[in-house]
Structure 1
């Protein structure tokens, strides 16, 4: 990856395996080793972190409204994260820390552009080009699933900013409560309370949300 600002190249070498080991503890240990190498002057090692977290960073940018600017937002976020590694807390998880940078960068981009992404466009970006439903599935079931996703994304746009962010981080980005708190810069108790209120609000917005299958 080459950024416009610093010309940082992180395309080669580094251990992707070490940065994305299975299990939270193993992954964190691997990331700590990579970060230590980068801090020691081995800039190329940063490529491992980029490869391990690009997909979730893109999802975060799209979910927060970056739209067509998502790749630029993520590239800028990785560059800022690289420049800030000296302030990264030793032993902390890299992913929520990075996602906090991505979210802030997305907000700045959306604000400067003076626009918000349309629900339909955001849905297309989130789902991507690869079908999520097998071709062999019942067409009626496929249509129903697509409609449910459309309704969910529309409902998310009906939430306040804090409630939308906590749902996106907890479920779309699949962070646990601790990671969500780190990514959003909130106490864990705030995450729990806002998530509870957000889910209750979604129940009232989504069709059938109040029944036993909602």
Structure 2
């Protein structure tokens, strides 16, 4: 007897497929995009300095993204396009609440979600060392010029490539490359200057 092959569940819809449905009038399709990218959008807002305004920034970004879909180029990558709106809204929040954001966004406080995962295989001692290194890195990252800091956040904390970073920040790809190089040099110098001699953990943070 022939055994029927198991039925595969419906594949996850692509961004392009969801966007086509949105253009066809299906609002639920945009809700699916919101669910898909909400966490990443919030992480972007937090890391770029939105502080406690992050949720409001993300909500406004999605509203503006929905309204701007008519200008979204078909076939383009949706994620960096969306994150550019998030980045712009973060800048707006910073300008509107400059003093409060400066206080809430103290570089001594590492944002939630940036610390290493707490899976069962994580050694608590190793996690503590990683957290210390990350706190030192976050502190020195905020000592960089804003343009260099934003590029490094996009490239290495949000895992965006050069082209995506250029889209998010609204600059040329060559600018991303040069700011990345300058920012890394300056960050390494700051970490080296802060590392006590003979402290392997501190030295590892500067050269890891």
**TM-score, normalised relative to structure 1:** 0.78
Alignment gaps of 5+ in structure 1:
1-14, 19-29
What are the within-5 Å matches in structure 2 for residues 37-76 of structure 1? 37-76=21-60
User: Alignment RMSD, CA only?
Assistant: 2.4
Cα distance, 1:137 vs structure 2 = 4.9
Residue 201 (structure 1) aligned with residue 186 (structure 2): yes
1:118: which partner in 2? 106
Of residues 146, 150, 153 in structure 2, which corresponds to 1:168? Answer: 153
- SS of residue matched to 1:125: coil
Cα contact 1:170–1:176 (8 A) shared by 2: yes
| Cα distance in structure 2, aligned partners of 1:183 and 1:16 | 28
**Structure 1 pair 182–16 and aligned structure 2 pair: CA distance change class (3 A):** farther
Of residues 174, 183, 189 in structure 2, which corresponds to 1:189? Answer: 174
Q: Deviations over 1:94-115 (max 9, x none)?
A: 1111111101101111211123
1:12: which partner in 2? none
Aligned length: 186
Cα distance, 1:33 vs structure 2 = 1.6
1:90: which partner in 2? 74
Cα distance, 1:139 vs structure 2 = 4.4
Cα distance, 1:173 vs structure 2 = 0.8
**Structure 1 pair 137–98 and aligned structure 2 pair: CA distance change class (3 A):** closer
Cα distance, 1:134 vs structure 2 = 4.8
Greater CA radius of gyration, 1 or 2? 2
1:103: which partner in 2? 87
**Structure 1 pair 137–38 and aligned structure 2 pair: CA distance change class (3 A):** closer
| Cα distance in structure 2, aligned partners of 1:139 and 1:42 | 47
Alignment gaps of 5+ in structure 2:
1-9, 196-201
**TM-score, normalised relative to structure 2:** 0.81
| Cα distance in structure 1, aligned partners of 2:66 and 2:80 | 15
1:6: which partner in 2? none
1:149: which partner in 2? 134
Runs of 4+ in structure 1 deviating by more than 2 angstroms, as ranges, are 124-128, 131-143, 207-214
Cα contact 1:16–1:47 (8 A) shared by 2: no
- SS of residue matched to 2:76: coil
**Structure 1 pair 137–41 and aligned structure 2 pair: CA distance change class (3 A):** closer
**Structure 1 pair 98–187 and aligned structure 2 pair: CA distance change class (3 A):** same
